[in-house]
Amino acid sequence: AQTVTQSQPEMSVQEAETVTLSCTYDTSESDYYLFWYKQPPSRQMILVIRQEAYKQQNATENRFSVNFQKAAKSFSLKISDSQLGDAAMYFCAYRSPNTGNQFYFGTGTSLTVIP
């Protein structure tokens, strides 16, 4: 089974600053998909950004961008101009093309935004 590791249980950032959350994964597959989800205190998991492994270009969604390093099996999330509403748990997830909708999640990073 694939393993997803988030080595930072907690992170903090000053409002308007930039923060990077780390994620590494272990796989022998060459084709797969990676996702970042955000879980605010309301508990609902919200998709932040996604990346296809076959695409070399890093995905970007407004203030959120990723640094995808396929050879290093690394998929970090960069949040620019951090806002108070960005405070949440962030989960990195891996999806294989061969196991339907079974996602493998990391243990999460709790992000605090300091005003």
Q: How far is the CB of 98 from another protein (least distance, A)?
A: 7
The smaller minimum CB distance to another protein, of residues 50 and 70, is found at 50
Pick 33 or 80: Cβ nearer another protein: 33
Please name which of 75, 94, 59 lies closest in space to residue 7, comparing C-alpha atoms.
75
**Which residues sit at the interface with another protein, rule CB under 8 A?**
33, 35, 37, 42-47, 50, 52, 91, 95-108
Using CA of residue 91, residue 96, residue 97, residue 103, what is the dihedral sign?
A: negative
Q: Are 5 and 24 in contact (CB under 8 A)?
A: yes
| Two structure tokens written together for 99 | 């196991």
Taking the complex as a whole, the smallest distance from the CB of residue 93 to another protein amounts, in Å, to 8
Least separation, in Å, of the C-beta of 55 and another protein? 10
Closest CA to 65 of 53, 77, 81: 77
Minimum distance from residue 8 beta carbon to another protein (Å): 13
Nearer Cβ to another protein (12/107): 107
Name the DSSP class of 81: S
Contact at 8 Å (CB) between 73 and 27?
yes
Nearer to another protein, 15 or 26 (CB): 26
